[in-house]
Structure 1
Amino acid sequence: MIDELPAPIAAYIRANARLDAEAMLAPFAPDAVVRDEGGSHSGPAAIRAWIEAATIASRAVFTPEAWHAEGGTIVVEGPTAGDFPGSPIRFTFRFELAGRAISALEIR
C-alpha cells in the first residue's frame, strides 16, 4: 500500500517505520507546517524537534491501512503503536503536497 502513495508521503512513512528522524524530516518543504495535539510546528528545526519528541522518544510507528485523496489533501488512516499510554491508537494523517515535498501535515 505504501508504494501507491505519493513519493514524499511514502518516504515519510518508510522512515517512520525505521524510526529515522533525519529521513522523516527530508520529505518536508522548508516552509512546511505540522499540526499535532493542538500544537503547530513550522520549519525544519521545529519539525525535527516534533519528530524527536512525538515519534522517536516514544518509538511511535504509524501503519497505514487506507488512504484517499480529498481535494488537495491526501488522507491516510491507520494505527500508531509505540511506547506510550493507550498504544496502539488510530490516527488520521492529512498531508498536503507542494511539488515533490510535504507542505503540511495534520494528525488527528
Structure 2
Amino acid sequence: MNLPKVVSDLVKTQNAFDSVAYSNCFSETAVVYDEGKTHTGRKEIELWIADANARYEATMQPVSYEEKGTESILKAEASGKFDGSPIILSYHLEIVDDLIQSLRITG
C-alpha cells in the first residue's frame, strides 16, 4: 500500500509507542478528535497519545487508504488491550504541507 510519508510515520510511531515522534507528525495547531474528546496542538496530542498508549497498548496495521478531496481515510486494524480487539478503525486525516492538520478516529 502506498501511504504518504506522514501517514507511514504515524503508523510506525504508533506501533513503537513513541508519543513524541507521533505528535511530530502533526502541525503545531493540529486537532485530534477521539473518544468524544478534542485535543488541540502538538503538546496536547502528545499527552493524549501517551495516555492512550499506556491504557490500550494499541498497534495498528493499515488495511486501506483513500484520498477524497482534502480528506484522506486510513482504515487500520487496531489491536491492543481494549474490548473488541482487534477492530477496524477509520482515521480521517487532513494533511497540509506534509503534516497532519486534523485527525478524527471513528469505529
Residue in 2 that maps onto 1:25: 23
Partners of 2:77 and 2:66 in 1: CA distance: 16
TM value normalised by structure 1: 0.91
More strand by share: 2
Residue deviations 1:33-90 (CA, integer Å, cap 9, x gap): 0001111100122111110122343211111111110111110112100112221121
User: How many pairs does the alignment contain?
Assistant: 106
Does structure 2 conserve the Cα–Cα contact (< 8 Å) formed by 1:21 and 1:56? Answer: no
Partners of 1:35 and 1:41 in 2: CA distance: 6
Counterpart amino acid of 1:86?
G
**What does 1:6-21 correspond to in 2, within 5 Å?**
6-21=4-19
Q: Which stretches in structure 1 are left out of the alignment for 5+ residues?
A: none
Does structure 1 conserve the Cα–Cα contact (< 8 Å) formed by 2:23 and 2:43? Answer: no
Residue deviations 1:87-107 (CA, integer Å, cap 9, x gap): 112100011111011100000
Residue in 2 that maps onto 1:90: 88
Partners of 1:5 and 1:51 in 2: CA distance: 21
TM value normalised by structure 2: 0.92
Partners of 1:48 and 1:31 in 2: CA distance: 13
> Please, what is the CA RMSD of the aligned residues?
1.1
Partners of 1:52 and 1:60 in 2: CA distance: 11
Counterpart amino acid of 2:32?
V
Identity %: 29
**What does 1:1-108 correspond to in 2, within 5 Å?**
1=1, 4-108=2-106
Counterpart amino acid of 1:5?
L
Moved over 3 A (4+): none
Counterpart amino acid of 2:21?
A
Partners of 2:61 and 2:8 in 1: CA distance: 11
